[in-house]
Structure 1
Amino acid sequence: MLLLSSSTQRLDRWAMGLSGLCLVHCLATAVFFGMLSAAGSVIGADWIHEAGLGIAMMLGAVALGRGIYSHGFMMPSAVGSLGLGVMAGALTMPHNGTEALYTMVGVTILALGHRLNGLAAD
């Protein structure tokens, strides 16, 4: 049980790190667009947003699911699932800046779920 808990915490830390990188990417892209809009087509490409969110969502779902199996508490997964839902909704939006806002909100909620998951495993 301790090994599974340690593995789940590691996965949660990785997922939180990826969420943080996503947040930094979104903020940096917005700043970069403001300063140098001509280069925005490369960094802000739609496929980067979609692929990154897809990977983050898969990793988040696995970590949250393993947390339920490890410690048995549903609340961290419920909070994290809300974040995953907001992120999934962002994928359906046009790439006009609104989706970045929804992505950042979803990533923040998901990171909170991962944090709660880590606290529940302690």
Structure 2
Amino acid sequence: PQVTALDLYEAQARALELARRNLADARVPVGFHWHDVRAGLPARYDFIVSNPPFHQGRADEPRIGQDFIRAAAAALRSGGRLWLVANRHLPYESALREGFASARVVAERDGFKVIEALKA
């Protein structure tokens, strides 16, 4: 009930268009932004939810997710939260320690982990 607006960021135009369709009936205003999050976010947020990509072609590129984590840390207001979904094997812990006061794995299942990180 406290959510008054959403901003979606997507680097792929096709995925952004699908998001528009999926959220056509959203109960709050939704901003759709064709933007690569790794370049940073242009606004400040109370919370960020992300399932960052980690492939460049077929190869694992954990740096992509780490860049998403750094961008989230820079864009969150003090006390803000990052909710991150990631494959269990991805090494995101050091980036989380660098940008957040705390981070914890909330759930692990079927090769995935859900992490909650709190901005100081």
Task: Report the TM-score, using the length of structure 2 for normalisation.
Answer: 0.30
Higher share of residues assigned strand: 2
Higher share of residues assigned helix: 1
Task: Report the TM-score, using the length of structure 1 for normalisation.
Answer: 0.29
Structure whose CA Rg is larger? 1
Higher relative contact order (CA 8 A, sep 6+): 1
